[in-house]
Amino acid sequence: MALSLKGAITMIDKSKFEAEDFLIDTTFQHYCAGTDQLSIEYWTKYISQHPEQQKTIAEAEKLYRLLSGNKAKLNERILAFQESFEQVKVVPLKSSRIWWSVAAAVLLIIGLGSIFFAEEKTAPATVYAKTYQTKAGERKKIMLPDGSTVWLNSKSTLKLDENFNESNRLVSLQGEGYFDVTHSKKPFKVETSEFEINVLGTAFNVKSYPDEITSEATLIRGLITMQPINGGGIITLKPSQKITLYKKTTTETTLPQQKRQLKISHPEITIDHYQLARDSTVVETAWVQNKIEILDQEFGEIRPLLEKWYNVKITFTSPELEKYVFTATFSKETVEDALKALKEVEKFNYEIKGDQIKISK
């Protein structure tokens, strides 16, 4: 395995690589993180043999630190302190003066440790200065102070940190948003209840509704790193890739058909490519163009999409109805127009009472 990995590395011509190209390389990420000896050896040798690229590689390493974070883990720092403390040679104390000096030093260490732990434990809460919201069935385009553009989908909330575009570019999202981020030395960070995303300049879609069983991030161009809140390593997405996180609280009955029978006790992450409709529209971001793109999806899977788009509540009288599979495009159609179109593919009945829709056989 080691030989095949090294062979795969050397087959790629890196002479024209920009910093972002190095970042996308998984082995380069391992080199920066120091997690794989083979990658470390390869890139150390490569850098020494290609001095003309050292500046670009140094920039890539800097970007990696910005995107992944540079903070050492608390337990690693504690372990290092313990090891250094254990290495101190124990000597007999011959004088009370020496004893008091050592006692004072120990107290100082304890005091500093208390401050250290307090700082680790009581990190200041994020203060948000600006909030944008959309109602059910509403979509909104927002221009941020740094020049970035965000499209908010139905029933979504975007919050900006009070120091946005000054000391940081931090936002919080609940719902769905499409981000077109301007390039800056300050990383652009998106926080959701399930994961955090770090970017520099790129276009991507984030979907994280509290009432849905999955959260998603889809990269259109550029580079993003994503890290689940509840654990897991940093994942780097390449253009056209989509990452889906199945939430920890999902149950068999709430999962779409293809995921049923799987008892998920922890977040399950899958990485795939975004879907393209017949006209090359990206399914995951079609909503930005005021379109619904449905591509080989089950009725139960598209229910949340239809509910938020049309501001309705849909119920099924039979689990079999949720298994019906559809491919369709809707733009200016009403909810009844959409149901009529779907009904031509699979036979079912529907009843509309206000914002309540019942689907039956």
Residue 201, pLDDT score: 78
Residue 252, pLDDT score: 43
pTM over 0.75? The answer is no
CA dihedral 210, 211, 212, 215 (to 10 degrees): 0
Q: How confident is the prediction along the chain (361 residues), in pLDDT tens digits per residue?
A: 333 333 344 446 677 788 777 877 777 887 888 877 777 888 888 888 888 888 888 888 887 877 765 544 434 444 444 444 444 444 444 444 434 443 444 444 444 444 444 444 455 667 787 999 999 889 999 999 999 999 999 999 999 999 999 889 999 999 999 999 998 888 899 999 999 999 877 999 999 999 998 999 999 998 888 888 876 678 888 889 999 988 765 444 444 444 444 444 445 888 888 888 877 789 999 999 999 999 999 999 999 999 999 999 999 999 999 999 999 999 889 999 999 999 999 999 999 999 999 999 8
Residue 317, pLDDT score: 95
- The rounded Cα 73 to chain-centroid distance in angstroms is 20
Q: Quick one: tokens of 146?
A: 């740094």
Residue 27, pLDDT score: 79
Q: Quick one: tokens of 221?
A: 């161009």
Residue 25, pLDDT score: 74
Work out the number of other CB atoms within 10 angstroms of the CB of residue 36. 17
Q: What angle do CA 143, 144, 149 make, to 5 degrees?
A: 50
CA dist., res. 242 & res. 237, Å (int): 8
Residue 267, pLDDT score: 57
Domains and CATH numbers, the chain: 2-68 (no CATH), 74-121 (no CATH), 128-273 (2.60.120.1440), 291-360 (3.55.50.30)
Q: Any residues with CB less than 8 A from the CB of 122 and at least 6 apart, and which?
A: none
